[in-house]
Amino acid sequence: MGNLNFEMTNIETDKLAESGNDVNPIKTIIKASPYMQSYERLLLENKAWAAEKVADDPDFFNRLANLQRPDFLWIGCSDSRVPANEITGTQPGEIFVHRNVANLVVNTDVNLLSVVDYAVNHLNVKHIIVCGHYGCGGVQAAMTKRDYKPVLNMWLRNIKDVIRLHEDELNAIENMEQRVDRLVELNVIEQVKNLARKSSIQRAWRASGYPHLHGWVYGLKDGLINTVFEMPAGSPVDPIYELDDL
Amino acid sequence: MGNLNFEMTNIETDKLAESGNDVNPIKTIIKASPYMQSYERLLLENKAWAAEKVADDPDFFNRLANLQRPDFLWIGCSDSRVPANEITGTQPGEIFVHRNVANLVVNTDVNLLSVVDYAVNHLNVKHIIVCGHYGCGGVQAAMTKRDYKPVLNMWLRNIKDVIRLHEDELNAIENMEQRVDRLVELNVIEQVKNLARKSSIQRAWRASGYPHLHGWVYGLKDGLINTVFEMPAGSPVDPIYELDDL
Amino acid sequence: MGNLNFEMTNIETDKLAESGNDVNPIKTIIKASPYMQSYERLLLENKAWAAEKVADDPDFFNRLANLQRPDFLWIGCSDSRVPANEITGTQPGEIFVHRNVANLVVNTDVNLLSVVDYAVNHLNVKHIIVCGHYGCGGVQAAMTKRDYKPVLNMWLRNIKDVIRLHEDELNAIENMEQRVDRLVELNVIEQVKNLARKSSIQRAWRASGYPHLHGWVYGLKDGLINTVFEMPAGSPVDPIYELDDL
Amino acid sequence: MGNLNFEMTNIETDKLAESGNDVNPIKTIIKASPYMQSYERLLLENKAWAAEKVADDPDFFNRLANLQRPDFLWIGCSDSRVPANEITGTQPGEIFVHRNVANLVVNTDVNLLSVVDYAVNHLNVKHIIVCGHYGCGGVQAAMTKRDYKPVLNMWLRNIKDVIRLHEDELNAIENMEQRVDRLVELNVIEQVKNLARKSSIQRAWRASGYPHLHGWVYGLKDGLINTVFEMPAGSPVDPIYELDDL
């Protein structure tokens, strides 16, 4: 432990000095050690990160511990390459996050719905962002005839239902990569609409004028977010799903 | 609005110039602007982040786009203060992520189970980390007699079931903050065990010797992860839940 | 048997005194008593029924206890007016039954799917019948803009999705009762197709040539079943949902 | 086959002899046909049943069509040998019914919960009966270490959780059939308690004094219902699950 702390001190020294040299011992350890691929590396990195935060701002964690007041709920894909905070440059405390396979909003999913409920009614978030990503593996899987076994089959069925609703548009796209990417966009649009179709969102819109809904797609190839669909609070909802006695 | 657009134009100009100077104009704009609380700030930050990544490593996104081979599945709380990547110092591509209210593993939850299935059977992750955090609002809510309305009530019931299983231990803790924190730990332990009780995990253990299961709790007050429970692949499972013809 | 009747007579002494006749005293009591609205009536009726069965066929329950080999799975509405066995003249042992609000087949519903799994893979049923009924309250509810509160809203959303898929046809029907009844039929058709879209059904079709799928609608006004849709095992499935490596 | 048809003819002959009516042509058709094992038999039986009902009471269906006011919600097993109406001697219109594998009440199951919601808040049922049956195949399956594949595994996990809560009592029972039957009872008791743990039931208890909850177990071997657990409206609920601001 003492040794580890010492190393962390070294790291901080390096950073404070903004040095570009090769002395960072932890980083060196991390890179050099055969154990670095294991979960222990995450724990070492955590200690380094926490030490850095406190070095920069001794009150950082105290402030944060007493406050969760995010403006945003992020509903994104579980994909490892789309970390919500990093790609949006946000800090701990800023985004409430749910991530599942292919960022789906399913109307009977108590997991997702309890996240939305907590975010909207207890945290009063102002924005819900559904963020997909081009080349999404879940979306690609749903476009095949492959059997992904019971659990994934159940889940991917939701994407097949999106394909069904936009079959003509999709079939007209000959390039398969482009077809996947258009389905990624259409999927995000449908999931945003699924939120707007929920009574809890319609009720919140009337009560508070929030949350605004956003459909974004992240590009793995350029790191940029493409805004594909917006439903500001109070937007018209398809009359089939509109409730009027909320 | 016009002002904001103007600023964005500046950002793009910077990128086109591919400036490598020491003052990051985008960061300056972001900090200066009164519009920064809106979702547009996230988009601006995203552009800055992507530009920075490419400046550091022109091939960064190309490499990443073609590869998702994470060693880790992270099952964490949606809480905005516990961003998986940041607190573990991991990069995009390293952790597959699911986050829900109070990091629960529910045996009939197709959302979570499809994430686990994808991670274990398609990405072949080597570790699954269930990470709670001290002071968790969902856990605290489950300790009260308050009515959180239908959806959250359904979800929090899972935590009340954990309380029931450990009632004596919890009641013996008089300090309420400590009682919450012990329940946070017990909840993580039960969720890790819930994974081990799943046939898909037991099957993977036999077939591949993976994944190892880890129960961690993050401290909001110090930023440090506490390792509270480990189930290496092949650990004994309560005989009630053990399957022998996998 | 006499003993059983004697005991029942003792329980209901007062009531017996009211009737005094010797035909079927239990039945008489049941019809005469003001207590008949309570749950105790069901227990009395159960005793009468069991006694009657044994009187008719002393071996009835012995035979039945050792055998569950139904040919049919019935997926019907919970509505009290549509008891599966009675309206089909079937005996105990003949139909495996699931009933929910508006006889829905939802692709992430582990409750329904475990019933289907058990029926298809363990009981080897030869037919699955999805049976709706004209005038269905759940279907009517889904056609309104009324807020049925969180849980029912989640469930009825599945019917609203059926409306969306057949909006033009439904809107062309001016008479509202007829429109409801057509939606009842379309709902049954979609639910039958939902079964056919499942990998487990497609797999069973290839492996065994079963089960055949039937979409029926029961008429509350005449007691008759209307057959609206048939999918014999091996029927073509919409290519979007077809799996080819089962 | 011929033998079976012959027997049915005999049965029907007896009935006809009892009634002294003219020959029921539909029944005759049913008896004569070699297709009796197919689903078409159900449709023929349905026609016979409807005709019989109208013959007995020409206004039967008219009355029923306009009225669903059941006093009872039945949550029972899908098992073909436990038809709710028949074993309780109730008529169409008297019992609202949900049936799943092993009569489970799962706190995140929107299928079951929407049935309960509709029954309690829209039909105002006065009683909810959870009815298991001795020798239940689902319960037996959960007592084994057998892999029932993903979907059933998920569902049966709920029963394994009941085993865990009552492990000592169950292990003390050496006779395996008796152990299964005790688990059937314990499972029914836990499911009744699961209802009482729901906010919607607690709310209804305060608002209306209903519904009363009943835990019953049906005996396949004698056709009799055993009442094993009762929770009248307003019964005390384990404080962990009690809500006080409904």
Kindly name the residue from B98, B127, B131, B133 that is annotated as catalytic.
B133
The answer to whether B95 and B74 are in contact (CB under 8 A) is yes
Residue B5 to residue A122: CA distance in whole angstroms: 33
Q: What pLDDT score does B109 carry?
A: 98
Are C220 and D45 an interchain contact pair (Cβ–Cβ within 8 Å)? no
Q: CB of A147 within 8 Å of any CB in chain D?
A: no
Q: What pLDDT score does A206 carry?
A: 96
Half-sphere exposure of D50 (CA within 13 A, CB side): 22
Is there a catalytic annotation at residue B133? Answer: yes
* d(CA A171, nearest CA chain B) in Å: 25
Q: Share the mean pLDDT of chain D.
A: 86
Contacts of C52 (CB under 8 A, 6+ apart): none
Contacts of A110 in chain D (CB under 8 A): 108, 110
Q: Share the mean pLDDT of chain B.
A: 86
The answer to whether A139 and A180 are in contact (CB under 8 A) is yes
* d(CA A150, nearest CA chain D) in Å: 7
pLDDT digits (tens, 9 = 90+) for A76-94: 999 999 999 999 999 899 9
Q: CB of A144 within 8 Å of any CB in chain B?
A: no
Where is average pLDDT lowest: B3-7, B14-18, B176-180, C224-228? B3-7
Q: Which of A107, A120, A155 best probes binding to C when mutated, by most C CB atoms within 10 angstroms?
A: A107
Radius of gyration of chain C, Cα coordinates, nearest whole angstrom: 22
Residue C242 to residue C197: CA distance in whole angstroms: 7
**Active-site residue numbers of A?**
77, 79, 81, 133, 136
For D110, nearest residue in chain A (alpha carbons): A108
Q: Share the mean pLDDT of chain A.
A: 86
Q: CB of A236 within 8 Å of any CB in chain C?
A: no
Residue type, position B191, single letter:
Q
Kindly name the residue from B69, B81, B122, B157 that is annotated as catalytic.
B81
More confident residue, C135 or D24: C135
Q: What pLDDT score does D34 carry?
A: 45
C-alpha closest to that of C217 among C243, C246, C182, C241:
C182
pLDDT digits (tens, 9 = 90+) for D181-196: 999 999 999 999 999 9
pLDDT digits (tens, 9 = 90+) for B40-94: 888 899 999 999 999 999 999 988 887 778 999 999 999 999 999 999 999 899 9
Give the sign of the dihedral formed by CA D69, CA D73, CA D77, CA D78. Answer: positive
The phi-psi region of residue D103 (left if phi > 0; otherwise alpha if psi is between -120 and 50; otherwise beta) is left
Q: CB of C174 within 8 Å of any CB in chain A?
A: no
Interface C–D counts its CB contacts (< 8 A) at 239
* d(CA C117, nearest CA chain B) in Å: 15
Helix, strand, coil in percent for chain B, rounding step 5: 55, 15, 35
Contacts of A105 in chain C (CB under 8 A): none
Q: What pLDDT score does B63 carry?
A: 86
Q: What pLDDT score does D155 carry?
A: 98
More confident residue, C67 or B4: C67
* d(CA C83, nearest CA chain D) in Å: 6
Contacts of A151 in chain D (CB under 8 A): 150
Q: What pLDDT score does A39 carry?
A: 82
Contacts of C42 in chain D (CB under 8 A): 72, 88-90, 129, 225
Chains with 3 or more CB pairs under 8 A to chain C = A, B, D
pLDDT digits (tens, 9 = 90+) for A90-115: 989 999 999 999 999 999 999 999 99
Q: CB of C110 within 8 Å of any CB in chain B?
A: yes
The mean pLDDT value for A223-239 works out to: 96
Q: CB of A92 within 8 Å of any CB in chain B?
A: yes
**Active-site residue numbers of C?**
77, 79, 81, 133, 136
State which fold the A69-241 domain adopts. Beta-carbonic Anhydrase; Chain A (3.40.1050)
Instruction: For residue D113, name the pLDDT band (cuts at 50, 70, 90).
Output: very high
Burial tier of A143 (Cβ tally within 10 Å: 0-12, 13-18, 19+): middle
Q: What pLDDT score does D28 carry?
A: 39
What percent of chain A clears pLDDT 70, i.e. is strictly above it?
A: 85
Are C86 and D49 an interchain contact pair (Cβ–Cβ within 8 Å)? yes
Instruction: For residue B116, name the pLDDT band (cuts at 50, 70, 90).
Output: very high
Residue C136 to residue C198: CA distance in whole angstroms: 25
Nearest Cβ partner of B110 from C108, C149, C151?
Answer: C108
Q: CB of B124 within 8 Å of any CB in chain A?
A: no
Nearest Cβ partner of C157 from A107, A164, A242?
Answer: A107
Residue A90 to residue B30: CA distance in whole angstroms: 11
- Strands B72-77 and C72-77 turn out to be unpaired
Residue B124 to residue B143: CA distance in whole angstroms: 36
**Active-site residue numbers of D?**
77, 79, 81, 133, 136
Is there a catalytic annotation at residue B131? Answer: no
Q: What pLDDT score does A205 carry?
A: 97
Q: CB of C234 within 8 Å of any CB in chain D?
A: no
Q: What pLDDT score does D65 carry?
A: 84
Residue C181 to residue A1: CA distance in whole angstroms: 72
More confident residue, A246 or B195: B195
Q: What pLDDT score does C27 carry?
A: 41
Where is average pLDDT lowest: A28-32, B201-205, D212-216? A28-32
Q: What pLDDT score does B65 carry?
A: 84
Q: CB of C21 within 8 Å of any CB in chain B?
A: no
Nearest Cβ partner of C150 from A155, A199, A240?
Answer: A199
Q: Which of B106, B107, B110 best probes binding to C when mutated, by most C CB atoms within 10 angstroms?
A: B110
pLDDT digits (tens, 9 = 90+) for C106-147: 999 999 999 999 999 999 999 999 999 999 999 999 999 999
Residue A238 to residue C164: CA distance in whole angstroms: 9
Nearest Cβ partner of B150 from C108, C110, C150?
Answer: C150
The mean pLDDT value for D231-238 works out to: 96
Which helix (H) or strand (E) is D136 found in, with range? none
What percent of chain D clears pLDDT 70, i.e. is strictly above it?
A: 85
Q: What pLDDT score does A245 carry?
A: 85
Are A149 and D151 an interchain contact pair (Cβ–Cβ within 8 Å)? no
Contacts of D109 in chain B (CB under 8 A): 108
Residue type, position B67, single letter:
L
Q: CB of B150 within 8 Å of any CB in chain C?
A: yes
* d(CA B141, nearest CA chain D) in Å: 11
Residue D68 to residue D66: CA distance in whole angstroms: 7
Nearest Cβ partner of A240 from C163, C200, C243?
Answer: C163
Q: CB of C150 within 8 Å of any CB in chain B?
A: yes
For A237, nearest residue in chain C (alpha carbons): C145
Q: What pLDDT score does C115 carry?
A: 98
The mean pLDDT value for D76-89 works out to: 94
Q: What pLDDT score does D35 carry?
A: 42
Residue C125 to residue C210: CA distance in whole angstroms: 8
CA A114 vs. chain centroid, Å, equals 16
Asked if the model's pLDDT at residue D226 lies above 90, the reply is yes
Q: CB of C154 within 8 Å of any CB in chain A?
A: yes
Q: What pLDDT score does D1 carry?
A: 25
- Break chain C into its structural domains and give their ranges: 2-62, 68-241
State residue D13 phi and psi, 5-degree precision.
Answer: -60, -45
* d(CA C245, nearest CA chain A) in Å: 6
C-alpha closest to that of B128 among A132, A78, A50, A93:
A78
Positions of chain C with pLDDT lower than 70, given as ranges: 1-37
CATH 3.40.30.10 is right for the domain spanning B68-241: no
